[in-house]
Amino acid sequence: MKLATFLLATLSLFAQTPAKPSPSATIDKAALEAYLRHAELWIPQVGVSIDDPQPSAYLPGFSEVAVHLSYNGQSKDEHYYISQNGKSIVKGDVYDLTKSPFQSTLDRLKTSSQPSYGKAGAPVSIVVFGDFQCPVCKVEADVMRKNLLQTFPDKVQVIFKDFPLESIHPWARAASDVGRCIYKQDPQAFWKYHDWIYENQESITPDTLNSKVMAWAPTGGVDAIQLGRCVDGKTTDSEVAENMAEGRALGVDATPTLYLNGRKLVGAMEWPMLQQLVTLEIEHQATAAKCEEACLVNIPKIGGK
């Protein structure tokens, strides 16, 4: 595992514990924030909110604490592991050698009721956190839509999740709301909208988004009246907010961010590179399915014979 440990030698972050041990620690959030601000060099302008600790599912004997950061309209989440005795903080990735190295990420990715294309249950899933106003997302979407299913017709499923960067893209969240409304009306029509809005990205403004969408709707097989009601009522905005919160909890802070069977990939990739990564993952899945426990990593004993 890759772990960076900060030993709290002089600062007690925990209140007194009861005689009976509790499943998760009780922390002094003000003291923890002060320590982390110093350790991580968070400037005073950064807002910090700390969740209550929860027993870690991945690191026995430690509690996991989510820390939410905000600055200039942007937000980011960090995760730390804190020992029950209050003397150690661990920041990093924890690996269970009997599971995928990306299992903790896979456990957090919610893919039900999300737009998707490709074969359900395919050996490779690619979850895309995207922004309809993001030029780099447009490039990546074009690469994937033109190549993935043609090359891997029954091996890949792509799931789209909204992550509009509101601080720099003024119409991105509204476009995500529209996309979710279309998905509710017709899941297949969502992908017509997805392709159309990226194709017309440069001509759309905050003032023209709705009129352009309504003019396009009949050509995409979408009921414009039903769509208008959904958009005006902000019916799907809470779903977009859930996707954004999930992305932040995973550490997403740029678009596009892809999760290829849980492996995080940031930014647009040229097709040869993406093709190679998908091929390697397909081969890995095939090998893992054959060998199961026989393929577990064998860790040599240090100093042993």
pLDDT digits (tens, 9 = 90+) for 152-166: 999 999 999 999 999
Q: Average pLDDT of 19-34?
A: 69
The CA distance from 240 to 165, in Å, is 12
H or E stretch at 163:
none
Q: How many secondary structure helices (H) and strands (E) does the chain include? A: 9, 11
d(CA 142, CA 140): 5
The secondary element (H helix, E strand) that includes residue 170 is none
Q: Which two tokens stand for residue 62?
A: 């430690």
Which residues in 107-144 are b (16+ Cβ under 10 Å) and which e? eebeeeebbbbbbeebbbbbbbbbbbbbeebbbbbebb
**125: which strand partners?**
157
Instruction: Give the mean pLDDT of 120-129.
Output: 95
303 pLDDT tier (thresholds 50, 70, 90): very low
Q: pLDDT, tens digit, for every residue of 89-99?
A: 888 878 888 78
Q: What structural domains and CATH numbers belong to the chain?
A: 2-93 (no CATH), 103-287 (3.40.30.10)
- Rounded to the nearest integer, the mean pLDDT of the chain is 86
Average pLDDT of the residues in 28-49: 91
243 pLDDT above the threshold of 90: yes
- 182-210 average pLDDT score: 97
CB 109 within 8 A of CB 246: yes
d(CA 129, CA 120): 19
Percent with pLDDT over 70 in the chain: 87
3-state SS, one letter per residue, for 8-76: CCCCCCECCCCCCCCCCCCECHHHHHHHHHHHHCCCCCCEEEECCCEECCCCCCEEEEEEEEEECCEEE
Token look-up 């988004």 returns 209
Look up the pTM and report it: 0.76
Tens-digit pLDDT profile for residues 56-66: 888 888 999 98
pLDDT of residue 79: 87
The enclosing H or E element of 7 equals strand 2-7
Q: What is the pLDDT averaged over residues 92-108?
A: 85
Q: What is the mean pLDDT of residues 246-273?
A: 93
Does residue 291 carry a pLDDT above 60?
yes
The sign of the torsion formed by the CA atoms of 84, 88, 92, 93 equals negative
